[in-house]
Structure 1
Amino acid sequence: MTTTGIRLRARRIAAGFSRFVLLGALAVAQAALAGGLPAPVAGALKEAGIPAQNVAVLVRGTGGEPPLLSHNAREPMNPASVMKLLTTYAALEILGPAYTWKTEALADRPPADGRLDGDLYLRGSGDPRLALEQFWLLLRQLRTRGVSEIGGDLVLDRGAFALPPHDPAEFDNEPLRPYNAGPDALLVNLKSLSFTLHPDAENARIEVWPETPGADQFVRNQLTPGSGACSDWRERLRIDQEGEVVVLRGAYPASCGDKSLNLSPWSADAQVERLFRALWRELGGTLRGHVRAGPAPAGARVLAAHESPALGEIVREINKFSNNVMARQVFLTLDPARPATPAGAQRAVRAWLSGKGLGLPELVLDNGSGLSRKERVSAESLARLLLAAWQSPVMPELMSSLPLAGVDGTLRKRMTGGAATGRAHLKTGYLENVRTLAGYVLDNGGRRWIVVFLINDPRARLGKPAMDALLQWLTERGDAREG
């Protein structure tokens, strides 16, 4: 062998040895991470006073390789709103992204000369997104079909769901908060009323403008102008219910400008009745009878119908803005039986998971929204779920529904200007003593990662810096590899 050949062979051997040492070092580093947390994350948790044993973290690539980072990953924990990932992914696969709900207006006799001699039935199918505008369009359609006077009653058919009694104060003793509204087969405007609070500096008062038709006569404004920062304006208000009337008290900071206040003070029947009467009157119609609950007769004919947006669009709104009421509607729809029940929806989700080989033995399901003290799942199971979703035909719909860090949804004001801005699609969750996130992160080297971070601790509210530190550490790994 020539001298040149010997040198080339020596270089190849040296290069091979260097690669071997580098791979070995990476393997050792990965194994070390699997047993602990990156220093920036551990430091942030320590500063927040959150013990490591109350945290679960799992990071893995979307290629199915072993985890890059695993800490306490098999421990069942409360996921808060991260549970919506399971509900929405299951719905996209079971029902399909194009699935829609219908709300119908029916009668057992045809109208004549603008008058319906008999009852009008409103039949719901669980539409999560029958907002004020859509309800108005349904009633307008009824008017254009020749109905102006309803001689009988308005009958509300909620037979698509069979639900236990719902106590809106049970979860956190905040019965007027819209997120505590229960599911409803005939859910209208998310069972909420909307008001605008407007500081009138010239007259030194706070005006309350009802944005929901029919609500103006059921609000008593006792607000006074206040000073100071606007960050906790909602907590400064005292909101009481006296019979059917909402009473607003407290000081509202003038620096806030106009703010929307959404409340859920009425029963489901009262909500639909007042909204129907107000809108129907605006459309020039009259209702002679009362409003009551009951089923539509078998032979009733459809006079008007509204079809919801497709499930793919509904899922986007649920995850981007963490809408609990809409998530519960979708969860119940997963029960193939009618009337649908929470137990039936739970069975349907478990059967779907089993069919995908995702047993998730520690999983505890309640209402599918994460607004629950009962629901449990591990970081490892959530990561397996996200890996299955990445490999699913509905992956684009699910991923695009997740808030984008520093850009939109619940992450619009978070991680702005950081390494993860615009590179992390994440669902977040927050309850008292619980803070969570899960989703997908694209590092600076172009590699996609699955991330799950769960905190169950009395100081969980202070855990955001630790989560942000993990996302920054992971995003910047691409820079380290390229270097």
Structure 2
Amino acid sequence: MSLFGPVPSVVGGSKLPPEVETAFSAAGVPNEAIAIVVEKLDQPHSGRRLVSHNPALPMNPASVMKLFTTGAALDLLGPAKTWSTEFRTITTPVDGVLDGLLYLKGSGAPNLTMEQFWVLLRQLRLRGVRDIRGNLALDRSLFALPPHNPAAFDGKPLSPYNTGADALLVNFNALTLLLMPDEAHHRVSVLLETPDAKLTINNRLLPVAGDCGNWYEQVTVKVEESTLQLSGPYPKGCGERKINLSPIVGNAHVEGLFRALWSELGGTLSGEVVSGVAPHDSSVIAAQDSAALVEVVRDINKFSNNVMARQLFLALSADTPPATYEKSAASLRAWLTGKGMSAPELVIENGAGLSRNDRASADTLAALLRSIWQSPTMPEMMASLPIAGEDGTMKKRGNGEGRGRAHLKTGYLEGVRALAGYLLDLRGERWLLVVMVNHPSAVRAKKGMDRLVEWVIHREEGDGGIAGN
């Protein structure tokens, strides 16, 4: 039977559907480790719960926590919200020469990509700046954050998903490397797609025969100051492959990219790259606006982008700088309260769900989804969610009749699996669904979760359920 194919039996109320319970049991996941709410959205009987299992139990929702961040941001900031990254100065360039400090002021933009950064530098060149004789000062004063340890969560400091928030986040603080087998010279070429004038590549990769397999796990990456070393076997069967890494942080990352792109544009920087705060009387000499919030939300939810979610979470308190995680959490709680949701069990650390301490109940998530469904920004939120069998993190889940009928945010951590979002059943009725599993066997819970989705999509008249509040 294909995923999301027909299911033979139905049952309503607070009990789990038998085939769903069987699938979880076969995966070694006990009922007490599962929280589920399935609730009708449209009339008649809006609010009726088809399934309500451990609804008040605080659970770690993993990346499903991003629904709180993106839902609040769409409502509080508006879908058209943008961020402007600025070059500022207190001096005027003369004959292409800028003496004195040039400030690069961060706005907390979640998606200042390399391409957008190049456009910003191009704007600076168009406005008459060629040679920067003073220092380039990076202004990160919009955020006030504790030191970030990228290895703290899972011991993988080079993984881009572990990148911390940054008021001046450029290209997600990441580099892309292209690996290419070179048969003529019996080697593996390593090309730096993200230019960096300060970084040296020490390539010790060895080409070997064989299929690609788990090639990435065999490549060892080490960072020593401004040198990135790659070693280990690289199967020829892999062909060209890309690696995304975050080996350099803070000023060094921005400096490397700035110097490389600025040189390509015919500019020079004689001074150093330092930290600084742009004076209030400084003037904007060049600026680059980000994509609109609606596009940011789509990238966050479709592809579960953690660093973008951290940035957006901090935007909830950036109107009273400096933004902090604590102030943003308070802002989100106030927003929930204003929507009639108390959520006493809610714990939200960074807005991305990349946390061992985050907690939310299925009841609270259901209330959030219900509120979003009734809000003016519902279309934008719906369009941001992964579509079963179509795109994002749900692209490989949901075939047959279920394809395209589920808009669901996924959540994955060690010991955690979660889904939350909206379903359209075969009768044309809309449902919200929340399912979370917190258990060492959660890695095997996917079948049980998908069976629940199947069951809702194929439900029949008279399946039962319990009355809503």
- What is the letter of the counterpart of residue 421 of structure 2? G
Match of 2:142 in 1: 160
**Equivalent residue of 2:410, what SS?**
strand
Deviation of the 1:216 alpha carbon: 8.3
The alpha-carbon distance between structure 1 residues 78 and 299, as it changes in their structure 2 partners (threshold 3 A), is: same
Paired AA for residue 383 in structure 2:
S
Tell whether 2:366 aligns with 1:403.
Answer: no
* Alignment root-mean-square deviation, CA: 1.7
Confirm whether residue 357 of structure 1 aligns to residue 340 of structure 2.
yes
User: Which is bigger in relative contact order (C-alpha 8 A, separation at least 6)?
Assistant: 2
In structure 2, C-alpha distance between the alignment counterparts of 1:418 and 1:219, rounded to whole Å: 47
What's 2:36 paired with?
A: 57
Give SS of 2:404's match. coil
Tell me the residue number matched to 2:307. Answer: 325
Q: Which amino acid aligns with 1:429?
A: G
1:133-172 matches, cutoff 5 A: 133-172=115-154
Alignment pair present for 1:422 and 2:408: no
Question: Which letter maps to 1:247?
Answer: Q
How far is the alpha carbon of 1:223 from its aligned partner?
1.8
CA contact (8 A) 1:210 1:216 kept: no
Aligned residue in 2 for 1:249? 231
Cα distance between partner residues in 2 of 1:173 and 1:309 = 32
Q: 2:274 matched to which residue of 1?
A: 292
C-alpha distance in 2, partners of 1:300/1:217? 32
In structure 2, C-alpha distance between the alignment counterparts of 1:98 and 1:430, rounded to whole Å: 30
TM-score after normalising by structure 2: 0.93
Flag the 1:413–1:258 CA change in 2: closer, same or farther, 3 A: farther
Kept in 2: contact 1:35–1:70 (CA 8 A): yes
- Quick one: structure 1 residues 216 and 113, their matched pair in 2 at CA, closer, same or farther if it must change by over 3 Å? closer
Alignment of 1:45 onto 2:27: no
Whole-Å Cα distance in 1 between the matches of residues 225 and 299 of structure 2? 33
What is the aligned partner in structure 2 of residue 340 from structure 1?
Answer: 323
For residue 239 of structure 1, report the CA deviation from its aligned partner: 1.7
Judge which range, 220-229 or 304-313, deviates more. Answer: 220-229
Report the 3-state secondary structure (helix = DSSP H, G, I; strand = E; otherwise coil) of the residue aligned with 1:388: helix
Q: Secondary structure of the equivalent of 1:406?
A: coil
After superposition, the C-alpha distances for 1:135-183 in whole angstroms (9 at most, x for unaligned) are: 0000001001000011100000011111111111111111111111110
Amino acid in structure 1 at the alignment position of 2:28: G
Change beyond 3 A, Cα 1:227–1:84: farther
2: distance between equivalents of 1:173 and 1:104? 35
Deviation (angstroms), 1:470: 1.0
Q: Structure 2: which 5+ residue stretches go unaligned?
A: 1-8, 464-469
User: In the alignment, what sits opposite 2:204?
Assistant: 222
Judged with a 3 Å threshold, the aligned counterparts in structure 2 of structure 1 residues 292 and 215 are, in CA distance, closer, same or farther, namely: closer
Say whether the 8 Å CA contact 2:406–2:424 is kept in structure 1: yes
Structure 2 SS opposite 1:209: strand
Q: Is the 8 A contact 1:244 1:265 kept in 2?
A: no
1:390 pairs, out of 373, 376, 381, with 373
Bigger radius of gyration: 1
Quote how far apart the aligned CAs of 1:215 are: 6.2
Cα deviation for residue 38 of structure 1 reads: 1.3
Post-superposition Cα deviations, 1:338-373, rounded to whole Å, max 9, x if no partner, equal: 111111101100000001101111101100100001
Provide, for residues 106-136 of structure 1, a one-character-per-residue CA deviation record: whole Å limited to 9, x for no partner: 1101111111111110001100110000000
Number of residue pairs matched by the alignment: 451
Mean CA deviation greater in 197-206 or 106-115: 197-206
Maintained 8 Å contact 1:446/1:478:
no
Distance 1:225 1:423 in 2: 45
Q: Percent identity?
A: 53
Give the stretch that moved more between structures: 205-214 or 127-136.
Answer: 205-214
Cα separation, partners in 2 of 1:351 and 1:227, compared to 1, 3 Å = farther
From the superposition, tell whether residues 216 and 412 of structure 1 become closer, same or farther in structure 2 (CA, over 3 Å).
Answer: farther
Q: Is 2:156 the partner of 1:174?
A: yes
TM-score, with normalisation over the residues of structure 1? Answer: 0.90
Residue 447 (1) aligns with residue 429 (2): yes
The 3 A distance-change label for structure 1 pair 479 and 357 is: closer
Q: Would you say 1:95 and 2:58 are equivalent positions?
A: no
**Cα deviation 1:3-36 (Å, max 9, x = unaligned):** xxxxxxxxxxxxxxxxxxxxxxxxxx99x63332
Counterpart amino acid of 2:270?
R
Whether 1:379 aligns to 2:358 is: no
Secondary structure at the counterpart of residue 251 of structure 2: helix
Q: Cα offset for 1:198?
A: 2.0
1:84 counterpart SS class: helix
Aligned residues of 1:56 and 1:454 also touching (Cα < 8 A): yes
Query: Displacement of 1:251 after TM fit?
Result: 2.2
Structure 2 counterpart of 1:3:
none
Unaligned residue ranges in structure 1 (runs of 5+): 1-28
**CA distance 1:366–1:339, change in 2 (3 Å):** same
Is 1:111 the counterpart of 2:90? The answer is no
CA gap of 1:295–1:251, structure 2 versus 1, over 3 A, is same
User: Could you say which residue in structure 2 is the equivalent of 1:82?
Assistant: 64
Secondary structure at the aligned position of 1:382 is classed as helix
- Partner SS state of residue 34, structure 1: coil
Contact 1:227 1:253 in 2 (8 A): yes
The question of whether the paired residues in 2 share the 8 Å contact of 1:117 and 1:150 is answered with yes
* Equivalence for 2:6: none
Task: Read off the aligned partner of 2:257 and give its amino acid letter.
Answer: L
Partner of residue 34 from structure 1, selected from 9, 13, 18: 13
